[in-house]
Amino acid sequence: MAFFVYILTNRKHGTLYVGHTDDLALRLETHRSWAVPGFTKAQGLGRLVYFEQHDSREAARKRERRLKHWLRAWKIQLIEDVNPEWRDLSADLL
């Protein structure tokens, strides 16, 4: 089973959200449906700009916690290293 850490945004250099999940496609669908009130709905965060795969839930959780404590500039650099155009990577999941 795969586990993922991901970053969502609303636009290039916009608000960032870091999360983890074991089903990235389903989690994106949940975020994008705006069915659950919260930060991602309030900020309109639906563009997947970064994700990485881990072998265990614990590894994904640790990485998520680490990224959440990173400076914003570090997160932006992480995204731009793999996705300089900030394109929506959700199509890459299909």
15 and 63 in contact (C-beta within 8 Å)? no
Mean pLDDT over 61-89 rounds to: 98
Rounded Cα distance, 12 and 21, in Å: 23
Tokens, residue 40? 């991602």
Q: Three-state SS for 19?
A: strand
pLDDT tens for 21-43 read: 999 999 999 999 988 889 999 99
Rounded Cα distance, 48 and 59, in Å: 20
Q: For residue 4, give the nearest of 31, 25, 24 by alpha carbon.
A: 24
pLDDT tens for 48-63 read: 999 999 999 999 999 9
Each domain of the chain, given as residue ranges in start order, spans 3-93
Mean pLDDT over 62-82 rounds to: 98
Q: Return the pLDDT at 34.
A: 87
- Tell me yes or no: is domain 3-93 CATH 3.40.1440.10: yes
Q: Any idea which of 7-11, 58-62, 89-93 has the lowest mean pLDDT?
A: 89-93
Q: Return the pLDDT at 94.
A: 60
pTM, 2 dp: 0.95
Count other Cβ atoms within 10 Å, centred on residue 72: 10
Place of tokens 């932006």: 76
